[in-house]
Amino acid sequence: MAILPIYNCFHPILKKKTEIVEEVNDDFLTLIDNMFETMHIAEGIGLAANQVGVSKSMLVIDIGHFNDKYPYPPMAFINPVITAFSEEDSDYEEGCLSVPTLRENVIRPAEIEVRYFDKDLKEQTLHATNLMARVLQHEIDHLNGILFFEKLTAIRKTLSQNKLKKIKKGIIVPDYPMVMADGRLIQ
């Protein structure tokens, strides 16, 4: 397996909607394995394919890797679509591997239902609650070109501007490889 560089939130690939996955071959399965490895090294619990420079509608989640109280195994979601949202909202602090060190509360639906394809391209449906619902919404937003800080309340957006400017300039960088908006690789 290989560690892939994660793309900075200001890189153009993260602002584009990803393409539908039509075929799963050995290269794609290797990508999934590499994404899990990359996510674990970076101490994340979710990672979308465009965060590693691949504009395909696929993401991986492993919320149990750092916290064994969650019953979900590591999962890959191909072409995921949220088909239902609860009316109840949840306010919870989020971070993002593409936005190093920024953590802010985001309001999202507390429960969702997701239709997706597994690695065998078999259609699946998952009713997700709590942290799994939040991580899925965050990562599916990535696939649609949406970053979590765009969902902040007006006051939280204002308060996060200084940190976002430092991230954009490369003053704040993570301890894992990152591709900056201009294409530079920082290791």
- Candidate list 87, 88, 111, 139, residue with the active-site label: 139
Q: Is 139 a catalytic residue?
A: yes
Instruction: Give the helix, strand, coil percentages of the chain, each rounded to 5.
Output: 30, 30, 35
The C-alpha angle with vertex 52 and arms to 78 and 156, in degrees rounded to 5, equals: 95
Cβ-based neighbours of 55, under 8 Å, separated by 6 or more: 13, 16, 18, 19, 49
Taking the CA atoms of residue 40, residue 46, residue 49 and residue 52 in that order, the dihedral angle to the nearest 10 degrees is -50
- Euclidean distance between CA atoms 113 and 111, whole angstroms: 7
- Which residues carry out catalysis? 139
